Amino acid sequence: MCDPRQAKNNLDVSRAATVIEQNALRNVMDLDRKTKKKDKEKSSLNHFNCFLANFRKEAADDAEKKDFKYFKSYKEIVFEDLEKQEIFGNLCTYFSTHARKNCNPKAALLKYNSCLNYFSGIKNYYLDTFKGKADTLPCFSPRLWTKYYKELHGIKAQAARELGEALVEEKELATSEEVRALGALCFWEGTKEGIDFFSLNKCLCHLSARCCEAAGQLKKNLTYKELQESTHKFAVLQFLLDRHKTDVKQRPVVFVHRGGVLEDFYFGLAAQLLLDENTSPYLFPEFYKTVETKRAGDSIDSKSSSLWSQLYGKLMDLARSIPGK
């Protein structure tokens, strides 16, 4: 006779093995990233519901229009409502002056970065929900959202100054030693891919760029600007940078890094262009492939960031294979 408890254990083990087999080919980093994206979207929409329930009220001039519509939840909003209802301007005010952690009225006001991420998350939710239609609506005009972002930044910056606080919370940065070590690994790896990754990291650092912004760098936009100090004139590299998140285009300049070549963008570009076969108009073609099919409003940073993590992982494997510390 078979022990029923043993039979149950065998069944549990079999089920666990089936689950593992089903997930065996899935990248654990992809699972983690999807979870984080879902959590961020959930938090954004929770704040949107809080705004709809407590802060979106009919103003006196709205009464004359006779089409003001109340919503209890983000789920009630349909495409036609986005055409007819003013929502996002008032929502920007909510995030600028009222949004608090976990929608708790006794909690502290949200920091600028959290407000910006949640505000953008709500926009992206509806752009994804009504994909192919919503991006033509006036309420999603890039020019209008640039104004929203500027107002949000301005109000939060003023509040931070009055309180004597930093506008954003600082994160721990890589040390110069860690930056140089990663740079050395890129060259030690010995391929064009490694050199391109080195140059990309200098771009991210010196331009304070996101991966998706660096991915769109065209070679033809790599120019120079002449500067003057006292009587001395000199030229420095200048880039055209499209800040996707805030719909702002900038032309930052980059100087030679005096700390050493492993931290220098000029050296990275020189090594990269020396090996370049000139088959693409983009400085970082492999990264451009991750964003080329994306449109305005899409979450365009995830795939380019995933590629960065993949290349970084390869270098860490190389580092672990080297004997010594």
Rama region for 132: left / alpha / beta (φ>0; ψ in -120 to 50; rest): left
> Higher model confidence: residue 157 or residue 26?
157
Q: In 3-state terms, what secondary structure has residue 242?
A: strand
* C-beta separation of 242 from 230 below 8 A: no
- Band of residue 40 on the pLDDT scale cut at 50, 70, 90: confident
**What is the CB neighbour count within 10 angstroms for residue 95?**
26
* 115 vs 51: CA distance, rounded Å: 13
Mean pLDDT of 295-316: 76
The pLDDT of residue 4: 46
Mean pLDDT of 107-134: 92
Mean pLDDT of 158-166: 92
* 80 vs 83: CA distance, rounded Å: 5
For residue 21, pLDDT beyond 80:
no
* C-beta separation of 217 from 284 below 8 A: yes
Q: Phi, psi (5° rounding) for residue 77?
A: -80, 120
- Band of residue 13 on the pLDDT scale cut at 50, 70, 90: very low
The pLDDT of residue 93: 95
Tell me what percent of the residues of the chain surpass a pLDDT of 70. 82
Mean pLDDT of 165-180: 84
Mean pLDDT, the chain, as a whole number?
83
Rama region for 5: left / alpha / beta (φ>0; ψ in -120 to 50; rest): alpha
* C-beta separation of 74 from 45 below 8 A: yes
The pLDDT of residue 125: 92
Residues whose CB is less than 8 angstroms from the CB of residue 265 and which lie 6 or more positions away in sequence, other chains included: 199, 202, 203, 205, 206, 237, 254, 257
Q: In 3-state terms, what secondary structure has residue 230?
A: coil
Q: Which residue has the tokens 């309180």?
A: 163
- Maximal C-alpha separation, the chain: 98
**Pairing mode, if any, of strands 248-250 and 253-254?**
unpaired
Nearest CA to 242 out of 213, 218, 220 is that of 213
For residue 324, pLDDT beyond 80:
no
For residue 294, pLDDT beyond 80:
no
Two tokens, residue 264: 């220098």
* C-beta separation of 127 from 140 below 8 A: yes
* 244 vs 131: CA distance, rounded Å: 18
For residue 24, pLDDT beyond 50:
no
**What is the CB neighbour count within 10 angstroms for residue 168?**
14
For residue 227, pLDDT beyond 50:
yes
Give first-to-last CA distance, the chain, whole Å.
58
- Band of residue 41 on the pLDDT scale cut at 50, 70, 90: confident
The pLDDT of residue 66: 57
> How many CA within 13 A on the CB side of residue 170?
5
Mean pLDDT of 41-64: 82
47-56, 125-134, 229-238, 290-299: the lowest-pLDDT one: 290-299
pTM (global) more than 0.75: no
Q: Return the DSSP state at 70.
A: -
The pLDDT of residue 34: 56
User: What's the angle, vertex CA 211, arms to CA 292 and CA 202, rounded to 5?
Assistant: 130
- Band of residue 29 on the pLDDT scale cut at 50, 70, 90: very low
For residue 22, pLDDT beyond 70:
no
The pLDDT of residue 60: 56
For residue 16, pLDDT beyond 50:
no
